[in-house]
Chains A and B, each alone.
Chain A
Amino acid sequence: MIRLETSLRTGINNNQLYEIPSQERLKDTLVRKRHKMATPRTAMSPLYNCHGFTFACHRTRIIESQEVQCILRDDKWEEVELGAVLPGDIVVYYGEDGDANHSGIVVQTDSLKVPIICSKWGFSGEFIHQLNDVPNLYGPTTIFYRCQL
């Protein structure tokens, strides 16, 4: 665990992992094959997860939904409509139970205003992908946010 705080100095629970087991390397290959349209950006890493990528500069893993909500609140991330999304905004994918099961950063919007996202997929690497081109474990609801600090 590293020291991680919001702008209001609220501590955020996190943890780091270091091992990359062999079978996961095989699984990584499979995942990459399945999402051919997604561009791999980095190799796999257990050190950080999607929320660690979006909110903690790749440094650690944030695994609790309430921690994500705390960051969104303390750091004044305000909702943005899909049509108004700009690069630099973030997207949080929510499950049907309200769990923030994935997140990423908007890096581009295409000619049809479809956001292109950079996100980290579990133990796998970072990918540049279209909003809905993600494993079906993520979503189905997506909400965009812009920091208003």
Chain B
Amino acid sequence: MTKLSKTDLGEILEIFFLANTPVSLFVGMNRSDAVQKLKRSPAGELLNYYDRITSRKERSELVIALAYAVLCAILLRAQDGDRVTVDATRLLWGEQIRVRLERSYIRSSLISTGNSPPAVHVASSVSVSSTVPKELLGPDGRAAASWRND
């Protein structure tokens, strides 16, 4: 699994330390380099790691901050289609983060246009048919010569 530097750990600890709400904790974690790095790991590995660190009897605040970072990475991977079942209730704000993220996932899924990219048609040339009337027509379809100011 991706290894985090001391700076990464310091960053997530500070986010955990300063966050006032579960949503701001998630937003801060999502912006952090640590979570961006963790997101590159396979979901299964992240889940194993999450299970290991959250099942410890004594959890230091750094371990809790790290657990939140791993949880956010798992949930973000789930948004990308890599779905695993994670017990978010092991962390005080875990369930609130999971529910919030799931809600936003459902909302964005509703407007999904599917996996295929939108088709773009570009006209390579413009051809003018010989059947196009040479006469200039007005908005009513009548020839310009027949327009009248009624």
Contact = CB atoms under 8 A, between A and B. Distances in A.
Interface residues of B, number: 19
A53 B96 CA distance: 22
A139 B70 CA distance: 24
Interface in B42-70: 60-62
Given A63-B93, A99-B27, A137 B19 contact: yes
Interface stretch (B9-17, B79-87, B140-148): B9-17
Contacts of A122: 17-20
Contact of A65 (B10, B21, B28): B21
A101 B20 contact: yes
B109 interface: no
Contact of B23 (A21, A28, A51, A95): A95
A28 B16 CA distance: 12
Given A24-B61, A63-B93, A99 B18 contact: no
Contacts of B10: 30
A64 interface: yes
B17 A24 contact: yes
B14 A51 contact: no
B85 to A, nearest CB: 25
B14 A100 contact: no
A137 B24 contact: yes
Interface in A16-51: 21, 23-24, 27-28, 30-31, 49-51
Nearest to A99: B23
Interface string B85-101: 00000000100100000
A31 B20 contact: no
A95 B24 contact: yes
A124 B17 contact: yes
A19 to B, nearest CB: 9
A50 B10 CA distance: 22
B143 to A, nearest CB: 57
Contacts of B60: 21, 23
B17 A31 contact: yes
Interface string A115-149: 00000011110000000000101100000000000
